[in-house]
Amino acid sequence: MSEKLRVAMIGHGFMGAAHSQGWRVAPRFFDLPLEPAMQVLVGRSLDSTVAAAEKWGWAETATDWRAVIARDDIDVIDIVTPGDTHAEIAIAALEAGKHVLCEKPLANTVAEAEAMADAATHAATLGSRSMVGFTYRRVPATTFARDLVAAGRIGEIRQVRAEYLQDWLADAEAPLTWRMKKEQAGSGALGDIGAHAIDLVEYITGQSVDSVSGIIETIVKERPVLGSGSGLSGTAGEGRGAVTVDDIALFSGRLNSGALASFEATRFRTGRKNALRIEISGSSGALAFDLERLNELEYYDATQGALEQGFRRILVTEHDHPYLDAWWPTGHMLGYEHGFSHQVRDFVTAIADGTQPRPSFADGLHVQRVLDAVERSSAAGSTWVTTTG
Ligand code: SOE
């Protein structure tokens, strides 16, 4: 490895831990063209930022992200804060000539996402690269699914079913964290996990969701205020507050080819912990993926004789499968965290090559338009709404 790529990460919650793992591990397993240096961790409270930096291996800490962006010795800004701060930080970083990796969803509103995509397009002409953290594109089985679709192995896509099911809010007494407040999170299950389902469908099929009809609902309207902790694991304090985001989002979509898709995003599906499931049916085959079994891909080949047909389970653990040659001997499986190393590998490679990594901020903007269209559709009694800008 040669030249250093000095990274500052802003935020240190759950995603901060996951991104730190990516930055630390990727250069030790992949032969990267630039060497990422975990330079500065930025957070609002100095004590917790220092503790996180020591635990995850960041060299320095800071509490003022603007001052960090102004530093000449920082090349990359990695944003893992709640959505309400993405636009301000990302635009400032792009204007300062940094490369920017931003967690999903890109923003809380279409207007913010548009401003970010514009800033990214302009910055790209000056050499800055930007990418959105839709990490599940980088699970080997989903990348492989995309490759199979692109190679025509399921024919013409006709129907898609996509669902992201979790149950960490099924307990009505789980406290009110930032993820349940519209002003910070933008939306609830819709933007938090529905965004992943939308991005993954578009990535695997190579198509875009052009119109939607949906319904969103808040099941538990009030919760105990947060006592301590944050994110997914807080404890309840005194008093109650209003949940201002959706708990469940259900919607239908039409892809640009005319294929139909159904989507479901819920944090109330009791017993489903992290089930991002996609089933894609084509004219000559089908594919099914479930994040709870992330080393597997189910494939149905309709061109085989009727007596041999049936879904078969492909274990996506061969060295020739995407990303796998950097890891363990053939047959050994990967976990949730590997996607973050793959994300770093692809982002750093694009920076070194001077190419636009995907998903770009324009891709993130499109997902934002779909999220917005679902909310508008629901408010208008589930009428069909187009997602075009
Ligand atoms: C919580 O629902 C969450 O952590 C999401 O915020 C992430 O994007 C998803 O990857 C896992 O679940």
Ligand 1 mean position, distance from CA 308 (Å): 38
Distance between Cα 180 and ligand 1 center (Å): 13
Q: What's the confidence (pLDDT) of residue 219? A: 95
Where do the domains of the chain lie? Answer: 4-136, 137-359+365-379
With 0.80 as the threshold, say if the pTM is over it: yes
In the reported structure, the alpha carbon of residue 82 is separated from the centroid of ligand 1 by a whole-number distance in angstroms of 12
Distance 222 CA to ligand 1 centre (A): 21
Ligand 1 site, residue 166, Cβ cutoff 6 A: yes
Confidence class for position 1, pLDDT limits 50, 70, 90: very low
pLDDT in tens, 113-142: 999 999 999 999 999 999 999 999 999 999
State how far the Cα of 302 lies from the Cα of 149, in Å rounded to an integer. 14
Best of 193, 230, 268 for a ligand 1 pocket test (most atoms within 8 Å of beta carbon): 193
Share of the chain above pLDDT 70, in %: 99
177/237 Cα distance (integer angstroms): 11
Cβ(89) – ligand 1 distance below 6 Å: no
Burial class (CB in 10 A: 0-12, 13-18, 19+), 353: exposed
Of 17, 38, 35, 19, nearest to 27 (Cα)? 35
Q: What angle do CA 314, 316, 319 make, to 5 degrees?
A: 130
Q: In whole numbers, what is the pLDDT of the chain averaged over residues?
A: 97
Whether ligand 1 lies within 6 angstroms of the CB of 103 is answered as no
C-alpha dist (Å) from residue 185 to 188, 318, 388: 7, 38, 23
> In ligand 1, which atom is closest to the CA atom of 14?
4
Return the ligand 1 atom nearest residue 104 CA: 8
Q: Which of these ranges, 25-39, 115-129, 228-242, 325-339, has the smallest mean pLDDT?
A: 228-242
Ligand 1 centroid – CA 265 distance (Å): 11
- Each residue's pLDDT tens digit, 28-41: 999 999 999 999 99
| Res 234: pLDDT | 83
Q: Please give the pLDDT value at position 361.
A: 98
Residue 389: predicted pLDDT: 60
Mean pLDDT, to the nearest integer, of 66-84? Answer: 98
Distance 383 CA to ligand 1 centre (A): 28
Q: Is 287 in the pocket of ligand 1 (CB under 6 A)?
A: no
Position in ligand 1 atom list of the atom nearest CA 232: 1
How far is Cα 335 from Cα 342, in angstroms, rounded to an integer? 12
- 335 pLDDT band, cuts 50/70/90, is very high
> Would you tell me which CATH number, out of the four given (3.40.50.720, 3.30.70.360, 3.40.30.10, 3.30.365.10), belongs to the domain 4-136?
3.40.50.720
Kindly state the tokens that stand for 157: 């896509």
CATH architecture of the domain with residue range 137-359+365-379: 2-Layer Sandwich (3.30)
Q: Is 193 in the pocket of ligand 1 (CB under 6 A)?
A: yes
Distance separating alpha carbons of residues 227 and 382, to the nearest angstrom: 37
User: What ipTM did this prediction achieve?
Assistant: 0.96
| pLDDT at residue 159 greater than cutoff 80 | yes
pLDDT band at 388 (very low <50, low <70, confident <90, very high): confident
